[in-house]
């Protein structure tokens, strides 16, 4: 457990330092949300209606932007080979690296959501609903994206392959995240907040179980 904690602390420290990638994701998230009101115009009702989808889409793209750093840096400096040869199970190491990535790149997106919600004319209830769905859904984006990052780490053009692999797997998370946010905001229709939110949590739990094993298998096969 001490080795696991050390790996998490190391990856978080690398991610939050200058050039580590976490700040890039937050700035990209901010850029997407700031530009949307200029593209949609001054219609405040339209901004409020599309606000949850804009925040979720920005979070998805920001998460995808930083996923290529999950294993690439370790592969370049030889740290990944040491992790493969260590006595720590590779599945646990992959889970630790994904958790560190979420803490460094996913949590800041959630923290920034209340501020960015003001730019999209979202009230406190709507902003809280979006932040709660991001808290439940962004782990699924990270642990699912980890599979694509592991597959692409040994390829020359892994960034393109990462986007092709991860985007289709992230669509269900995006759909149920936006559906849960809209259900909490609109409070009408047959769809309640609990139904899509429960599915969103189930997707995160499933990715938490499947992601480390699939990523570990991809790394073993690709680095042999």
Contact 125, 26 (CB under 8 A): no
How far apart CA 190 and CA 142 sit, in angstroms, is 31
pLDDT of residue 80: 81
Please give the DSSP secondary-structure letter assigned to residue 206. H
Give the residue carrying structure tokens 């976490």. 22
Whether the per-residue pLDDT at 199 is higher than 90: the answer is yes
pLDDT in tens, 45-93: 888 888 899 999 999 988 888 887 788 777 777 778 788 888 888 889 8
How far apart CA 137 and CA 133 sit, in angstroms, is 6
pLDDT in tens, 80-137: 878 888 888 888 988 999 998 899 888 989 998 988 888 888 888 888 989 999 999 9
Tell me the average pLDDT of the chain: 84
The secondary element (H helix, E strand) that includes residue 86 is none
Reported pTM? 0.87
- Counting other chains too, the contacts that 179-184 makes at CB distance below 8 Å and 24 or more residues apart are 180/129, 180/133, 181/52, 181/56, 181/126, 181/129, 181/130, 181/133, 182/52, 184/125, 184/126, 184/129, 184/132
pLDDT in tens, 167-177: 888 999 999 99
How far apart CA 203 and CA 153 sit, in angstroms, is 24
Please report the sign of the dihedral spanned by the C-alpha atoms of residue 99, residue 53, residue 165, residue 206: positive
Q: Using a pLDDT cut of 90, give the percent of the chain over it.
A: 23
pLDDT of residue 198: 92
pLDDT of residue 157: 59
Confidence of residue 195 (pLDDT cuts 50, 70, 90): confident
How far apart CA 62 and CA 30 sit, in angstroms, is 9
């Amino acid at each position: 457990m001490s080795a696991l904690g050390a790996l998490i602390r190391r990856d978080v420290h690398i991610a939050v330092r200058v050039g580590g990638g976490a700040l890039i994701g937050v700035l990209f998230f901010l850029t997407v949300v700031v530009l949307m009101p200029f593209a949609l115009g001054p219609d405040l009702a339209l901004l409020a209606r599309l606000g949850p989808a804009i925040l979720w889409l920005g979070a998805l793209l920001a998460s995808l932007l930083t996923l290529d750093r999950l294993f690439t840096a370790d592969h370049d400096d030889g740290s990944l080979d040491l992790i493969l040869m260590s006595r720590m199970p590779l599945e646990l190491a992959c889970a630790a690296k994904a958790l560190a990535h979420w803490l460094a790149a996913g949590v800041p997106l959630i923290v920034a959501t209340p501020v960015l919600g003001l730019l999209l004319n979202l009230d406190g209830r709507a902003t809280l609903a979006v932040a709660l769905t991001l808290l439940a859904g962004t782990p699924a984006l990270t642990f699912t994206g980890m599979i694509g990052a592991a597959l692409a780490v040994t390829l020359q053009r892994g960034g393109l392959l990462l986007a092709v692999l991860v985007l289709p797997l992230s669509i269900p998370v995006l759909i149920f995240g936006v559906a849960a946010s809209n259900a909490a905001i609109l409070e009408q229709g047959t769809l309640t907040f609990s139904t899509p939110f429960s599915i969103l949590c189930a997707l995160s739990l499933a990715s938490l179980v499947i992601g480390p094993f699939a990523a570990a298998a991809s790394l073993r096969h690709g680095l042999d």
